[in-house]
Amino acid sequence: MRRGLRARWVAVPLLALAVGGCDVTGLVDDLEGWYSYGGTVEGSSRNSVAGELRIYSQRGRQAYADIEWYMLESGERIFEVYAEEVPIDIYSDDRIRFTAWGDVQFSDGTWGEFELEHEGRLRGRTLRGSWWLDTDSPSYDEGDFIAER
């Protein structure tokens, strides 16, 4: 009986060391940082999107982002979107998803409301994916993005 107990005491720390040395959840563990953001607008060759994304406070399947996002027409800002402390969901296949709500300022100085969704995948220092924007102007746009850290 004593011999079996001693063998277990050795096996448990070895198992803990083996598991602790690898990412058993499969979650992205280095998502945090500043990202330079750029992208396309579907159906428009003159419009594009640009901005910055800061991802921080990553814990397991959750992180937060601050977003500064611009819709451009021929390089000129049409409107700006700002959002802080936006929750990000992180999935085990390096995929992320988040939705931001808030106020949008249009180029004529008027304000409206927006909902901006993102879904993307992290590969190295690059986040790629799709975005969807709905405003009360009324307008709806979508496209693809690339964000580099």
Domain annotation covers residue 127: yes
Q: Which ranges of the chain does DSSP label H, i.e. alpha helix?
A: 2-20
Instruction: Identify any residues that bridge with 41 across adjacent strands, giving them in sequence order.
Output: 44
CATH number assigned to the domain comprising residue 49 = 2.40.128.120
Measure the CA–CA gap between 132 and 40, rounded to whole angstroms. Answer: 11
Task: Give the chain's mean pLDDT.
Answer: 83
Domain annotation covers residue 14: no
Q: pLDDT (tens digit, 9 = 90+) per residue, 76-108? A: 988 888 899 999 999 988 899 999 998 888 878
Between residues 131 and 15, the one the model is more confident about: 131
Of 120, 63, 124, the residue nearest 97 (C-alpha):
120
pTM, two decimal places? 0.76
Domain annotation covers residue 21: no
pLDDT band at residue 129 under the 50/70/90 scheme: very high
Percent of all residues in the chain with a pLDDT value above 90, rounded to a whole number: 60
| Domain total of the chain | 1
Domain annotation covers residue 17: no
The C-alpha R_g of the chain, in whole angstroms, comes to: 21
